[in-house]
Chain A
């Protein structure tokens, strides 16, 4: 097995294979990593309801197995739950993987002991939006939903009576539903920065829906997959060229969609920039959630943004925000977490990306794609 190899794989356990999103390979790999001692802990989503799950750090393979399946209405980044020094594996959408790498650059994650099992990602939805969308667009009771999948550009919900209900994602997004805004312009679909990248794109023929396409990106990727094969938990077959081509084509098409969304959502500010920012931030209630939840922020409790800002001496557009906008320019990956948790619904990701995108383009640096040192780390303050 070599870096760059592509396979289609599946869990040998029929139950995991059926419950898995596309063959249960990821679940089988994570559980085997625990069972064979490759890692001490795994971060997975503990499912609570159809639209609700919470990340858990576990060393119990049964909890890992219970987590099989993709949850598109659980927009959470798992890298925040990694602890330095623990041998750990996590399933990782591009935003999970990229933030893990950014944390590694800032000494918060030991990349050598962290196995990043990448998941391709076309986007996640906020559960509150999903529920409203089901009601308004699908005319369905959210409590009647038993499963959901994305196929050929359509979002399909399965109801308890076994029926399927499909609407085109474009149509949903035009009405303000569907994926979160950040996911609409997120341009990384295949987690090439992960140790191994898994997805359903490129799985064709008899294996469609029953197999996971995997691309090996690192030695750790080889280790975690071989560990699962040795444990008898996983079987693989080489991916064929047609599958690879389809995967690349869909990825390209999705990047074009993201680029268009980027133009739409992040078009230049019209009028006074000061007014724009003052207006956008005027309802901030100083809760700090946007900082706490940010998966690339590595500053902890005492940070520049908090130390320079005090409720007793601040304007509505506080130094907290101004410091953060600048400080995260080279690390913001546009994951959408800050917007999700803001109690006064400030579109924070949008604003962070307004600062980050031009800077990242200028320095030709895209955070989280590899271990390249961020440009600001490399700035020489003393000229020779």
Chain B
């Protein structure tokens, strides 16, 4: 009776909470609390706590048939020709991402991280958009402005914000739903952020950057930070989104929407996804499934079984994240190293480009050079330069339509997990106006279809139907809908 214990991070979001994964003789896993982890003192949100239920290992497949790992690697190597498009949003280690970058380069391509905002917004802003601030620094802020709902999207921020409040900070939340830890909850026209929020260099702005984020909104927030001198932190929904962005810097990136459009117009025929399930990540699942069906080759290199592994032509199944050798970089810019020693993913990608197995050490050294460090130390955040940038013209698209289904996002959305959040939230006025009754699901209808969903009365902005799970009749992060009984 022996157990393998891995020191690793939760793959749920860019906070990258430290944890242990305990693997029994029979391969069953369980998580354990790593109280000495600097990021989270061992604390986890419900995604991390239930990780063992949320993780399903992938199986190598070619054309739907289970095959040996090496056969899948060979098949993928043959199928990936020049002109392939590569995606890695940051759900795996820097080593695998860097290996994929080498493979892409050998085919004359780049790896897309899916964060379209990076290609639209001037490059001098990228360091500020990429790396946030140390989580302890949130506790020292005098004023915090939240453009996220920390309870739902990044739950391990809650304790940092509460600690800041204990230290005297005031908290303003700007969003769809009132958050109870905020001293004030506001809806503000982006044009008035500066005057209404009155921030200064002791303030911290916390927002989100995900593949669906409107670049114009990012620019507004960057302008706000610049004008006020406030620190800004863009949380990301993927554990190693920051690491992948750092590794991929200065390369031309396509947004996920662009990639889907190019698949639809026939210019992308082969798509290689590294631990990136576009069906899960993108809001309009039907549209994504339709596009993926048009590809000649959908090649998925992944540790996790998910919607995309069911439809891929080739699945190269690598070991789960906790078993991999490698590093992730979290939202603070903190490098965190796994205790695992698995190099399946790196070796597979190496084999696909005819490189001998054993590329890991070379790639890890390249990562350390990129981060400007000699070794990974979780207690020391590498120094990042954040150059000044010029204020930008920004015109965010108006998000609110009369009645809109809005996705809240966060780990309980992106990872397609089983959770008890299968309900929408709306305010009491909306419930009464539409004659909704407790116990009877609300009918939500859009141009794309209809769904009957449980609802909960919350302090949500007028006209907003907030959802933490994906619903079939949505066409984007915000979908115009009608609500009825």
Q: Mark B145-174, 1 if CB is under 8 A from A, else 0.
A: 000000100011011001100000000000
Is B443 close to A, CB under 8 A?
no
Give the contact stretch, choosing among A1-9, A115-123, A205-213, A305-313: A305-313
A283-B181, A345-B162 known; A54 and B1 CB under 8 Å?
A: no
C-alpha gap A131/B33 in the complex (Å): 17
8 shortest A-B CB distances, which residue pairs? A312-B423, A52-B36, A343-B43, A287-B46, A127-B36, A128-B41, A285-B155, A41-B1
Residue B450 at the chain A interface, CB threshold 8 Å: no
CA distance A41 to B25 in the complex (A): 13
Q: In the complex the two chains form, is B43's CB within 8 Å of A342's CB?
A: yes
A21 CB, min distance to chain B CBs, angstroms: 20
Count of A-B residue pairs with CB < 8 Å: 107
Docked complex Cα distance between A322 and B3 (Å): 36
> What is the CA–CA distance of A168 and B40 in the complex, to the nearest angstrom?
29
Which of A248-295 touch B at CB < 8 Å?
282-283, 285-289, 292-293
Chain B 62-96 per-residue mask, 1 if CB under 8 angstroms from chain A, else 0: 00000000000000000000000000000000000
Contact with B along A334-367 (1 / 0, CB 8 A): 0000001111110000000000000000000000
* Between-chain CB contacts (< 8 Å), 20 pairs: A49-B36, A52-B35, A54-B32, A56-B3, A58-B3, A74-B35, A76-B35, A127-B35, A128-B41, A287-B48, A287-B155, A288-B50, A311-B421, A312-B455, A313-B456, A316-B180, A343-B158, A344-B159, A344-B162, A345-B159
- The distance from the CB of B12 to the nearest CB of chain A, in whole angstroms, is 11
Contact yes or no, B5 A56, CB < 8 A: yes
- Contacting residues, chain A, for B460 (C-beta < 8 A): none
- The answer to whether A312 and B2 have CB atoms under 8 Å apart is no
Q: Give the complex CA separation of A66 and B388 in angstroms.
A: 52
Known pairs A57-B2, A127-B41, A288-B50 / 7 extra A-B pairs, C-beta < 8 Å: A52-B36, A74-B35, A287-B48, A311-B420, A341-B42, A343-B44, A345-B159
Contacts of B456 in A (CB 8 A): 311-313
Q: Counting CB contacts under 8 A, is B107 at the interface?
A: no
Q: Mark A54-66, 1 if CB is under 8 A from B, else 0.
A: 1111111000000
The answer to whether A341 touches B34, judged by C-beta atoms less than 8 angstroms apart, is: no
Tell me, yes or no, whether B49 is within 8 Å of chain A by CB: yes
Judge if A126 is at the interface, Cβ distance under 8 Å.
Answer: yes
> Is the C-beta of A382 less than 8 angstroms from some C-beta in chain B?
no
Contact B3 A340 (CB under 8 A): no
Complex: chain A residue closest to B163, CB-CB: A345
| Complex CA–CA separation, A74 to B42 (angstroms) | 12
In this complex, how many residues of chain A approach chain B with their Cβ under 8 Å: the count is 43
A51 contacts which chain B residues (CB < 8 A)? 36
Do A285 and B46 have beta carbons less than 8 Å apart?
yes
Q: Is B20 an interface residue (CB 8 A)?
A: yes
Query: Which chain A residues lie closer than 8 Å to B45 at the CB level?
Result: 285, 287, 343
- The one of A52, A56, A288 in contact with B46, judged by C-beta atoms closer than 8 angstroms, is A288
Contacts of A74 in B (CB 8 A): 35
CB closest residue in chain B, given A50: B36
Given the complex, which residues of B lie within 8 Å of A286, measured CB to CB?
Answer: 46
- Decide yes or no whether B454 CB sits under 8 A from chain A: yes
Chain B 13-25: CB-based contact to A (< 8 A → 1; otherwise 0): 0000000101000
B7 CB within 8 Å of chain A: yes
- A46 proximal to B (CB < 8 A): yes
Chain A contacts for B159, CB-based, 8 A:
343-345
- A226 close to B (CB within 8 Å): no
| A153 to B180 alpha-carbon distance, docked (Å) | 42
Q: Say whether A54 contacts B49, CB under 8 Å.
A: no
Q: Nearest CB to that of B151 among chain A residues?
A: A285
Within the complex, the shortest CB–CB distance from A204 to chain B, in Å, comes to 35
Contact with A along B343-386 (1 / 0, CB 8 A): 00000000000000000000000000000000000010000000
Asked whether A289 and B44 contact (CB < 8 A) given A58-B3, A283-B162, A343-B155, the answer is: yes
Q: Do A343 and B40 have beta carbons less than 8 Å apart?
A: yes
| B 425-460 to A, binary, CB cutoff 8 A, 1 in contact else 0 | 000000000000000000000000000001110000
Contact A343 B420 (CB under 8 A): no
| Chain B residue, CB-CB nearest to A73 | B36
Those of B197-233 within 8 Å (CB) of chain A: none
Write the B120-161 contact mask toward A (1 if CB under 8 angstroms, else 0): 000000000000000000000000000000010001101100
Give A26-70 as 1s and 0s: 1 = Cβ < 8 Å from B's Cβ atoms.
000000000000001100001011011011111110000000000
Q: Is B183 an interface residue (CB 8 A)?
A: no
List chain A residues, Cβ under 8 A from B455: 312
B48 contacts across to A, CB distance below 8 A = 287
User: Chain B residues with Cβ under 8 A from A52's Cβ?
Assistant: 34-36
Instruction: Give chain B residues whose Cβ lies under 8 Å from the Cβ of A46.
Output: 5
Whether the Cβ atoms of A57 and B49 lie closer than 8 Å is no
A75 within 8 A of B: yes
Is B399 an interface position by the 8 A CB rule? no
> Does any Cβ of A come within 8 Å of B196's Cβ?
no
- Which of A46, A55, A126, A287 counts the most B-chain CB atoms under 10 A from its CB? A287
Contacts of B33 in A (CB 8 A): 289, 293, 340-341
Could you give, for residues 64-107 of chain A, a 1 whenever the CB lies within 8 Å of some chain B CB and a 0 otherwise? 00000000011110000000001000000000000000000000
CB distance from B383 to the nearest CB of A (A): 19
A313 to B420, CA, bound (A): 11
Contact assessment for A40 and B1 in the assembled complex, using a CB-CB cutoff below 8 Å: yes
B422 at the interface (CB under 8 A from A): yes
Chain B residues near A56 (CB-CB < 8 A): 2-3, 5
Least CB distance from A126 to B in Å reads 6
- A48 touches which of B1, B7, B42, B44 (Cβ 8 Å): B7
Closest Cβ of chain B to A199, distance in Å, is 24
In whole Å, how far is A311's beta carbon from the nearest beta carbon of chain B?
A: 5
CB distance B43 to A310 under 8 Å?
no
Question: B454 — which chain A residues lie within 8 A by C-beta?
Answer: 312
Distance (whole angstroms) from the CB of A2 to the closest CB of chain B: 33
A235 to B418, CA, bound (A): 55
Q: Is the CB of A128 within 8 A of B35?
A: yes
Complex CA–CA separation, A289 to B40 (angstroms): 14
Residues A340 and B50 in contact, CB atoms below 8 Å apart? no
In the assembled complex, which residues on chain A have CB atoms less than 8 Å from the CB atom of B180?
282-283, 316
1/0 contact string of A118-146 vs chain B (CB within 8 Å)? 00000000111000000000000001000
Residues of chain B within 8 A (CB-CB) of A60 are: 2
Are A311 and B5 in touch, CB under 8 angstroms? Answer: no
Specify which of B1, B41, B156, B162 is in contact with A58 (CB 8 Å cutoff): B1
Give Cα A348–Cα B33 distance, bound, in whole angstroms.
Answer: 17
Which chain B positions have C-beta within 8 A of A86? 1
Chain A residues contacting B43 (CB-CB under 8 Å) are: 289, 341-343
